[in-house]
Amino acid sequence: MNQSTAKDRVDRIDPYGFERSEDFDFESYEELMSEYLIICTRRSIKWSRLLKDTGKVQRNVKLKRYVRKGIPNEHRTFIWMTASGAQEQLEKNPGYYQSMLVTHNDSKLVETIRTDLNRTFPDNVLFRKSSDPCLQKSLFNVLLAYGYHNPSVGYCQGMNFIVGYLLIITKDEEKSFWLMDALIGRILPDYYSPAMLGLKTDQEVLGELVKLKIPRVWQVMVKHNVMWTLVVSRWFICLYIDILPVETVLRIWDCLFYEGSKILFRVALTLIHHNQALIEQAKSLPDVCQAFKEIAQGPFVEDCHPFMQKIFTEPGSLSMATLIKLRATCRGRVGEGEF
């Protein structure tokens, strides 16, 4: 293989192992990244200073500001682990992860997970059997251990993509397991349970927030009889994986592990508010669905730094108190089968 061919192959794969599409715009990407790398370098120096001074992290206004501006990759695992409580659980339960893999045997769970392995990021070279190391084995282990750890959830489609991202970043099965525990057990309760009550509730909460903050879009949804689950269920269940660009998703997750589930609403409201005019043009239910696909693409979401600044300004105030109140109202309706 000559040097230019080798370089072409490298260029076709992003820093996280994903293959770029044939029509990938390298020129725009390089222009974007040249600016973003300057920001990343500046943030990296500030993070190194912060962690050097303390050696640990304390939740405060300064750390929250740092997280919102992006966690450098070299510190991402550490901050996710500490901010989410996953590190504390890992230290409290030494050997627990390995014990889940050796003390249980559920052939049905094994088969269900195996079925989804090859469907998980077929466009990522790290998950191919030819890759060394191959993350597919680690993906299987973490999903299986989690299924045994939380039998009320077991395995649900969508979890494979989340664990896949966790492994890409942490490169560690046990840490990915405890981060999954933080997400499903504390940050997103009832998202992945068989009834998915938490997920269904939050989709309706988003509808209520749109009604309140972007009423003209809400009117479009009502006019064309579009249920929120039809257009946003994948946003919530996959935590924006395969919806938004990888770098943008990771920036969202930085805030998700630190601030909790309200970040998912901030992202959704920003996407909808910013593209209000496009959604309003919809003349039918298929038009609405197409508009919701389009709003998750293009320069607005690719340029992750300004996008992340927007999610904290464009939707306006969004307190946990508001979310708790709306969740109580919507959960009652979902539970009664109104939707």
The 10s digit of each residue's pLDDT in 86-110 is: 999 999 999 999 999 998 888 999 9
Domain 90-187 has CATH 1.10.10.10: no
Q: What is the pLDDT of residue 54?
A: 61
Torsion, CA 202, CA 220, CA 234, CA 175, rounded to 10: -50
Strand partners, 124: 18
Percent of the chain having pLDDT more than 70?
95
What digits encode the pLDDT tens for the residues 141-161?
999 999 999 999 999 989 999
Asked whether residue 264 carries a pLDDT value surpassing 80, the answer given is yes
Q: What is the pLDDT of residue 33?
A: 81
Asked whether residue 25 carries a pLDDT value surpassing 90, the answer given is no
Asked whether residue 67 carries a pLDDT value surpassing 90, the answer given is yes
Q: What is the pLDDT of residue 55?
A: 63
* Higher pLDDT pick, 26 / 194: 194
d(CA 339, CA 321): 24
Q: What is the pLDDT of residue 275?
A: 96
Q: What is the pLDDT of residue 53?
A: 64
Domain 197-336 has CATH 2.60.40.420: no
Asked whether residue 193 carries a pLDDT value surpassing 80, the answer given is yes
Q: Where are the domains of the chain?
A: 9-74, 90-187, 197-336
Strand partners, 18: 124
pLDDT band, residue 336 (cuts 50/70/90) = low
Q: What is the pLDDT of residue 116?
A: 92
What digits encode the pLDDT tens for the residues 37-59?
888 888 899 998 888 866 677 88
Mean pLDDT, to the nearest integer, of 122-142? 92
Asked whether residue 15 carries a pLDDT value surpassing 60, the answer given is yes
pLDDT band, residue 332 (cuts 50/70/90) = confident
List the one residue out of 160, 167, 176 whose CA is nearest residue 116.
Answer: 160
d(CA 34, CA 107): 49
Mean pLDDT, to the nearest integer, of 209-224? 97
Long-range contacts of 54-59 (CB under 8 A, 24+ apart): 56/82, 57/82, 57/83, 59/83, 59/258
* Higher pLDDT pick, 11 / 327: 327
Asked whether residue 10 carries a pLDDT value surpassing 60, the answer given is no
